[in-house]
Amino acid sequence: MSIKDELRHIIKCSLVKLDINFLESEITIDICKDKNHGDYASNIALVMAKNLHKSPMEIANLIKDNIDSDVVCNVEVAMPGFINFTISPSYLLKTLDKILMMKNDYGRCDIGKNKKINLEFVSANPTGILHIGHGRGAVYGDSLARILNFIGYDVVREYYINDAGNQMNNLGISIKERYKELCGLDCNLPEDGYHGKEIIEIAKKIYSYYKDNKLDCDISFFKKEGLDILLDQIKHDLDTFRVNYEVFTSEQSLYDRGIVDNTLTKLKNSGNCYIEDGALWLKTTAYGDEKDRVLIKNDGNYTYLMPDIAYHIDKYERGFDKMIDVFGADHHGYINRLKGSLSMLGYDTNKLEVKILQMVRLIKDNQELKLSKRTGKTYTLMELIDDVGINAARFFFVAHSIDTQMDFDLDLATSQSNDNPIYYIEYANARISSILKSYKGDLDNLKYSTICDANTYIILNKLCAFEDVVKVAGEKGLPHLIANYVYELASLFHSYYANVKIITDDVEYTKDKIALLTAIKIVINNALNLIGIIPREEM
């Protein structure tokens, strides 16, 4: 059990002794912000006061008086009815043993019970290359998947390829026009076509292979060539960024398998469709949307909502216990219409959770950097990786909650100083690695007889908290908690190292210190692995 689980168990045992009925969800444990109050606190007495018709202080003291556990060395009651716990040194030292024994598995648990989760993220249209906004979504989705797997869920990472619809026709037209230009003909690129440098590069690849032999080909040829090249580039960029998927689902395949047509028939049969101005509308206002939505436009073309509904039905039919979509900030209003559409067909929308990813601003020399210096257009993900490195890019993205707009400071991300959080963490890891390499002894028969100072217990408490941080980060979809945790742990180590000599002539003293540093390194590495960062062993 994690430390919070232990404390919940202690409270439950006390309530059972007192013959007080309770709900498991009522027992919450929080870390004390002021260490003078202890390590952890519970407000259970305040929660139960109304039903028990007693004051919170009276209930808290009753619970305290019926606690008997070696997990805690002190229990105090504080106004207006908090129960404060101080973790016993013996329990903290057992945690140290636990970390040294479990190594890479420390923090792992099975609360997910192997439930199947579909996690769809990035899903950028294959009409261009990935930019920094996609990078933020990639890190969030990949980190969340790693954490969920670590706590016992069976996670399928999925990428939805928007390879049907008008944007793909525009892609094909744009590539063909650039290809014609290379063949010495006039280039009539449409205003709503794609003007990026990558379109020119695709045309060059086609020309280098076929010369001018494809001038008579229709748009479908150029569309397929462009899709294949761009999708390969997207996969390459994501793979470079340590982001991989189990499933790529093609929008076109939903049409080819008849899923879109079948979904349309179901929606019509549900009685929630109507014709107006020559278009087919869906009554999403009846399900919480701000206005009804068009499924088929008056020109006969589907809106993007239609295949999206079909796609989500396909995910439901694949039997996932939960589905998580990571959408961009411009999709906030899309949630109600999507969930409403699924509700009218009888699907449980509680199984579908939508995460909204806010925007990223690039900052350079304290000014917002709006355009890439290399392309004159959007700053790409690969440019960011080239400029700051994978570790820095991933850490800076994941260290911010996705529901807040973030500023990505390029100068800070490349700084070789303690102000740079990922440098600071990697320096802690490298420093510990260096010490461990120089240690010639063993870690057998550890007694921890020399561990008795407050600073060490602070670090042990932090190591002890890792299991609960991982659970909360996974269950609530908050990978930034892992980034914050590992930074705080690195800070504790740096402070400790500055004031404590590690290797001395005292064998037992040195062994205890090496054991502690080994545990710190294990947890730093476990935390960084959950957010896709491979720390340097040397700086």
Q: Is domain 417-530 classified as CATH 1.20.58.100?
A: no
Percentages helix, strand, coil for the chain, rounded to the nearest 5?
55, 15, 35
What integer pLDDT is reported at residue 333 of this predicted model? 79
What is the bridge-based pairing of β-strands 82-87 and 40-42?
antiparallel
pLDDT at position 375 is: 53
Q: Where are the beta strands (DSSP E) in 404-474?
A: 406-409
d(CA 410, CA 412): 5
Triad 444, 446, 448: Cα angle to 5°: 160
Residue ranges of domains in the chain: 3-87, 166-240, 417-530
CA distance 533 to 524: 10
Listed in order, strand segments (DSSP E) in 124-209 are 154-161
User: Exposed, middle or buried: residue 40 (CB in 10 Å: 0-12, 13-18, 19+)?
Assistant: buried
Per-residue pLDDT tens listing for the chain (539 residues) = 899 999 999 999 999 999 999 888 899 999 998 888 899 999 999 999 988 999 999 999 999 999 999 999 999 999 999 999 999 999 999 999 999 999 999 999 999 999 999 999 999 999 999 999 999 999 999 999 999 999 999 999 999 999 998 899 999 999 999 999 999 999 998 888 898 889 999 999 999 999 999 999 999 999 999 999 999 999 999 999 999 999 999 999 999 999 999 999 999 999 999 999 999 999 999 998 999 999 999 999 999 999 999 999 999 999 999 999 999 988 877 899 999 999 999 999 999 999 999 999 999 999 998 765 555 567 899 999 999 999 999 999 999 999 999 999 999 999 999 999 999 999 999 999 999 999 999 999 999 999 989 999 999 999 999 999 999 999 999 999 999 999 999 999 999 999 999 999 999 999 999 999 999 999 999 999 999 999 999 98
List phi, psi (to 5°) of 113: 50, 30
Q: Which CATH code is given to the segment(s) 3-87?
A: 3.30.1360.70
Q: How many CB atoms neighbour CB 76 within 10 A?
A: 14
Q: Give the pair of three-digit tokens for residue 156.
A: 């399928």
Q: What is the pLDDT of residue 330?
A: 81
Q: Closest Cα partner for 195 from 384, 376, 62, 326?
A: 376
Quote the CA–CA distance of 190 and 230 in Å, as a whole number. Answer: 20
Q: Find the helix or strand (DSSP H, E) in which 307 lies.
A: helix 305-317
pLDDT of residue 117: 98
SS3 400: coil
Three-state SS string over 326-341 comes to EEEHHHCCHHHHHHHH
Helix and strand counts by DSSP (H, E) for the chain:
19, 15
Give the angle 387-389-395 at the CA atoms, nearest 5°.
120
Check residue 331 and give its pLDDT.
Answer: 80
pLDDT at 370: 74
The residues, ordered by sequence, that sit 6+ positions from 480 with a Cβ below 8 Å of its Cβ are: 398, 399, 400, 401, 402, 473
pLDDT of residue 33: 87
- 1-10 residue pLDDT tens: 899 999 999 9
pLDDT of residue 74: 96
